[in-house]
Amino acid sequence: MSMIQPVRGTHDLIGEGQKKHAHVVDTARRITSLYGFDEWQTPVFEDTGVFARTLGDTSDIVSKEMYTFTDRGGDSLTLRPEGTAGICRALITNGLTQTLPQRVFYTGPMFRYERPQKGRYRQFHQIGSELIGPSEPMADAEIIRMGYDILIALGLEKDVELELNTLGDPESRQIWRDRLVAYFTPLRDRLSEDSRTRLEKNPLRILDSKAPEDRELLADAPDFASCLNETSRAFWDDLRRSLDAFGVPFRENPMIVRGLDYYSHTAFEFVTTRLGAQGTVLAGGRYEGLIAEMGGPKTPAVGWGAGIERLSMLLENFTHAERTVAIIPTSDTMQGAAVDMLSHLRGAGIRCEMAYRGNMKKRLERANKSGAVRALILGEEEFARGVIRLKNLENGSQTDLSADSIIAQLVQEAAGTSA
């Protein structure tokens, strides 16, 4: 019989991996709350139209990465490949389009049918945020600062760089599209097969191509800055001033276009050189048409998403050892006192555990092996004298103390290490 295997591109979160993952989520929850954001949870699957109609037919996600299936009732459903579309759907169906701004934080699994490799999975996880309502560039700057604060809180300030671009408004993009088509049409045969299709359907998408032959031609492609109309130029200037005001360093990169069609004006990516080709860790932009596309009123918004696995991989020196206390009764008659001790300690907020069997030596060995930092040894003779033996498993020293003093001491130690 063959063993049951995990699905290709999925992974279990156990041990240190899960600790890092939780640390990223906890940090993001804490920081986004400081910015007045509230967490939303939306379903992991939606009607296929929620994504297919909004992300753009020629985006990588819609054209080849979605997990779409027909359920038993005959409806076409899709496992969410990203978070924004579901949040916008929820804004509309919960009747919140007139209650703006909405500041939304979300986290959870996302699903994309991609070729699995380091930093690229089929089920991965994101943290993300959306600031829905404001049309001012100040909003873009603030939500970027929030992402930056999360990266700083994770200790990644020196590992990442913000790359910034503008995609302008639809009018500016139309001008650019025409110029790109004029540039690429004579070079059509030298483009990758995907980009030949993009040239017909959505030429801007060529800029997002990873194919070397496309990258080579892109080096001399027309510059978008020359296509910006007055509104777009004003937004772009204002955005850069606002980022300065919020103290976020950035580098302009005209190649940042983002993989989705719904963006306009701001597009940005925090990138790192530490993860090879999978260098984008937190990315997003402004979107003006998405909510209207879904049947809501025209509502401007700006947001970003960040891959938790990629952030976790950067947390190299992360150690988060839990301090555990092992409770060891030396005989069956001490079992009751040991159970009392467990509940007292847990009541006082101390992490503790007890093995259900084995002699004292065995249990001490096991406690040491499990990484426990202290052991409480409950012996009959000591107990009769009103004391319990507290053994420091880190240095081997031991003292006999009353139950109350032990609890007080452990509480103090726990407070000292969490500070």
Least separation in angstroms between residue 200's CB and ligand ATP is: 22
- Show the site string, 290-329: x = touches ligand ATP by CB under 6 A, - = not: ---------------xxx-xx-------------------
Nearer to ligand ATP, 303 or 329 (CB): 303
User: Residue count at the site for ligand ATP (CB under 6 A)?
Assistant: 18
Position 197 contacts ligand ATP (CB under 6 A): no
Q: Which is nearer to ligand ATP, 52 or 411 (CB)?
A: 52
- Closest by Cα among 418, 419, 385, 380 to 401: 385
Determine, following the binding rule CB under 6 A, whether residue 283 of this chain makes contact with ligand ATP.
Answer: yes
148-167 residues in contact with ligand ATP (CB under 6 A) are none
Rank residues 82 and 142 by Cβ distance to ligand ATP and give the closer one. Answer: 82
Residue 105 makes contact with ligand ATP by CB under 6 A: no
From candidates 52, 96, 114, 159, binder to ligand ATP by CB under 6 A: 114
User: What residue number has its CB nearest to ligand ATP?
Assistant: 307
Looking up tokens 């939306």, which residue turns up? 42
Instruction: Give how far Cα 361 sits from Cα of 53, 187, 364, Å.
Output: 65, 77, 5
**249 to 99, 190, 199, 244, 267: CA distances (angstroms):** 33, 37, 34, 7, 15
Query: Min. distance of Cβ 283 from ligand ATP in angstroms?
Result: 4
Binding span for ligand ATP by CB under 6 A among 93-101, 161-169, 279-287, 407-415: 279-287
CB of 182 to ligand ATP, least distance (A): 27
Tokens of residue 211, six digits: 């194919």
Q: 367: burial class by Cβ within 10 Å (0-12, 13-18, 19+)? A: buried
Q: Which is nearer to ligand ATP, 165 or 330 (CB)?
A: 165
116-122, Cβ contacts within 8 angstroms, sequence gap of 24 or more: 116/8, 116/9, 117/278, 118/275, 118/276, 118/278, 118/313, 119/275, 119/276, 119/278, 119/307, 119/309, 119/310, 119/313, 120/278, 121/9, 121/10, 121/11, 121/309, 122/7, 122/8, 122/9, 122/10, 122/67
Rounded least distance, CB 145 to ligand ATP, Å: 18
Complex with ligand ATP: residue 40 or 121, whichever CB lies closer: 121
Among 114-122, 138-146, 191-199, 326-334, the segment contacting ligand ATP (CB under 6 A) = 114-122
Selected binder of ligand ATP within 11, 29, 53, 120 (CB under 6 A): 120
- Chosen residue from 126, 195, 232, 312 binding ligand ATP by CB under 6 A: 126
CB of 175 to ligand ATP, least distance (A): 25
**Would you count residue 280 as binding ligand ATP (CB under 6 A)?**
yes
Among 135, 278, 324, 405, binds ligand ATP (CB under 6 A): 278
Among 20, 21, 103, 112, binds ligand ATP (CB under 6 A): 112
Interacting residues with ligand ATP between 324 and 363 (CB under 6 A)? none
Site for ligand ATP in 8-67 (CB under 6 A): none
Measure CA 188 to chain center: 38
Does 274 bind ligand ATP (CB under 6 A)? Our answer is: no
Report the residue number, 131 or 352, with the smaller CB distance to ligand ATP: 131
> Which of 82, 130, 163, 214 forms a contact with ligand ATP (CB under 6 A)?
82
124 near ligand ATP, judged by CB under 6 A: yes
Distance of CA 348 to the CA centre of its chain: 33
What distance in Å separates the CA atoms of residue 172 and residue 235, rounded to the nearest whole number? 12
Q: What is the smallest separation between the CB atom of 108 and ligand ATP, expressed in angstroms?
A: 12
Interacting residues with ligand ATP (CB under 6 A): 82, 112, 114, 119-121, 124, 126, 259, 278, 280-281, 283, 305-307, 309-310
